Amino acid sequence: MVKNSHCVLDPVCFSGYDCAMDRVALITDIDTEPGSSLLKYCYSDYTHIIGTVSSSGSNFALTDMPDERLEVVEWKKRSPFEAKNILLSIIKKYKALDDAFIIHSCTADETPIHDLDIAYIDMTIDIWLKQYIFLCREILSYFLNGGNGFMLLVNNIAYKHENGNAALFESIHYGFDGFMRDLVTFCKKSNVRINGITAISPDSKSLSGYIEKLLSAKFRDMSGKIMTFGKNKRRFPF
């Protein structure tokens, strides 16, 4: 494992590096509203940003962003090795990863669970739960090995449903939310900073504004914080 030799975006750099030096960030799902807005907001904070999209045919547009700072990577979420490959490629090319923003935006299929094909259920869990856990695992291992790093996890539940027809996606979001909360608690004992946001709202633009407000309030300097965005908080009582 290559050690993290660069500083996180912080007033104090644990490694002793000048904070004006290169900073590298990973932002997933930049082809979603929260991911795209976060990319634009953070763009001037980093020398290099790696942004993932779901497919090479994504509609993501490089608006007002010079290509040399941003590298867009297709995240092939069907392979269990893809998450590790993404991190290894970042370390090989940029020699470090300082901050990671994991945007979990799973779109609901309101087909009743008994009408879903078994293969589709298996594929959906692979794509929307296991792949995100794999990626967080690789990043956390790298940060812990280097002794520092910042990660923000956003569980973006950007859909409404009142008829009980989204059991598969509810289970994915509950699973990711529990994973996120446990990860945040675990890292309170380390120099790695992890915060989480549970967003229960179809209003992605307001969520983007909320994330930007947190980051402007030095959210990257904090650790162990779980925030909830949206009015319907009863779905996640823990």
Contact 208, 37 (CB under 8 A): yes
> Which pLDDT score, from 0 to 100, does residue 232 have?
57
> Which pLDDT score, from 0 to 100, does residue 136 have?
97
> Which pLDDT score, from 0 to 100, does residue 19 have?
42
Give the separation between CA 74 and CA 87, rounded to whole angstroms.
Answer: 13
Give the separation between CA 168 and CA 110, rounded to whole angstroms.
Answer: 9
Q: What is the pLDDT of residues 111-155, one digit of tens each?
A: 888 999 999 999 999 999 999 999 999 999 999 999 899 999 999
The larger pLDDT score, comparing residue 3 to residue 49, is at 49
> Which pLDDT score, from 0 to 100, does residue 112 have?
85
- Farthest-apart Cα atoms in the chain, separation: 57
Burial of 237 (0-12, 13-18, 19+ CB in 10 A): exposed
Q: Mean pLDDT across the chain, nearest whole number?
A: 82
